[in-house]
Structure 1
Amino acid sequence: MSNLSQQRTKKIILESFGELLTMKNFSEITMTEIAAKALVHRNTVYKYFNDKYDLLSQGVTFLFEDQSINLLHFKQQPFKSLHDVSFSVLDKIITQQQNDHNFNKIIQSNFIELLIQTQNDDKLFWNIGKMVGILLWNEMHENKYDMFNDYQILDNIYQTEKFPEIN
């Protein structure tokens, strides 16, 4: 199979997976469904992706690579930056997946990894550490704040370094 044919097949699988993500929660999607949607054999999907987590990770990386992230804006409002990049690319998927914990963890991780890879600023690690601390705090409180819809609250926590009272 030629390189272009392989790239086309991988793109079709990614697009089919994206369509499924607009209709079903990530946790409910199977590799068999992805293959059926892409009109390829299940083994073909496994040729390119280890599992659906790998598929999501590679897909998000592929989508985010073309997005420019304003580093100054990120340092001031990291959650709004994530929201803006994600919604510009993944609006329908984010809406469907907003309550899927596994999906959100992969999105967060990929965004942070890409940010680190694309920026040449060691000070960025301090900002990311603070952001991860807020995400962990939020997770400990059963994800009270949705990362994509409550970004203003999360950015306020980031800026003030004060967690709100949770009842």
Structure 2
Amino acid sequence: MDNKTNDDLRVRRTHKLLYSALLDLMEKQPFENITVKQICDLAMVHRTTFYTHFNDKFDLLSRALRQIADDELNFVDTFISPSEAIKEVFSVATKHKKLFSQLLSEERDSLRNLLRREMGVGIHKHLVKNTSLEENSIDIQIAIEAHIGAVLGVLNWWIENNMPIDKEDIYRKLDILTKLNSRDH
């Protein structure tokens, strides 16, 4: 392997260790109480190395969320329908329940904005393909925002209430709303 490949592998390994440490700490305590020192100690990475890669813990959180989205939320590349997007969001939320719970309950905009952006692109593609809504119209923007707002609102409720119903039931209930948005206008 050449030096560039070795460096790239080391960077990816360092990022993975730091992401993992942050997410592990967030399972145990609120984000605002977590320090860079705690993250570095758990990841076994020197603070200097941390600051070589990230500005602060907020930058690390933002990039960790982006990594989760890239790894687990495939709306843009593999988007089939809004109901498939709902399944992905709820599956990831189930897998990372404490993270989602903390971020949604603390009203952190980073997760909401990340989900909005990812979902919005896929929903837009679906609506353009399956409705008479014009690509850049106000109507399509309203439909997208209504759909995203409903999904994130229900997701927040579901997590805050300790997932009181099965995620399959949630899919079915939200699918009704999705189909209302997808009907030809």
**Interval containing the TM-score (normalised by the shorter chain):** 0.5 to 0.7
Q: Is the 8 A contact 2:79 2:85 kept in 1?
A: no
Structure-2 residue corresponding to 1:82? 89
1:157 to partner: Cα distance: 10
Structure-2 residue corresponding to 1:66? 71
Q: What does 1:24-43 correspond to in 2, within 5 Å?
A: 24-43=29-48
Q: 1:35 to 1:117 in 2, by over 3 A?
A: farther
Identity of aligned residues (%): 21
1:110 to partner: Cα distance: 1.3
1:15 to partner: Cα distance: 0.9
Residue 112 of structure 2, aligned match among 108, 113, 117: 108
Equivalent pairs, count: 151
Equivalent residue letter for 1:128: I
Q: Is the 8 A contact 1:18 1:93 kept in 2?
A: yes
Equivalent residue letter for 2:112: Q
1:40 to partner: Cα distance: 1.8
Normalised by the size of structure 2, how large is the TM-score?
Answer: 0.59
1:82 to partner: Cα distance: 2.5
Structure-2 residue corresponding to 1:10? 15
Equivalent residue letter for 1:129: E
Normalised by the size of structure 1, how large is the TM-score?
Answer: 0.64
**Structure 1 unmatched ranges of 5 or more:** 139-144, 162-167
Residue 52 of structure 1, aligned match among 54, 57, 65: 57
Root-mean-square deviation (Å): 3.9
More helix, by proportion = 2
Q: Deviations over 1:86-128 (max 9, x none)?
A: 323x1343355553222xx221211222345667728476343
Secondary structure of residue in 2 paired with 1:50: coil
**Higher Rg of the two aligned structures:** 2
Alpha-carbon distance between aligned partners in 2 of 1:111 and 1:135, rounded to the nearest angstrom? 10
Alpha-carbon distance between aligned partners in 2 of 1:45 and 1:147, rounded to the nearest angstrom? 35
**Structure 2 unmatched ranges of 5 or more:** 1-5, 129-139
Q: 1:108 to 1:42 in 2, by over 3 A?
A: same
1:156 to partner: Cα distance: 9.0
1:16 to partner: Cα distance: 0.7
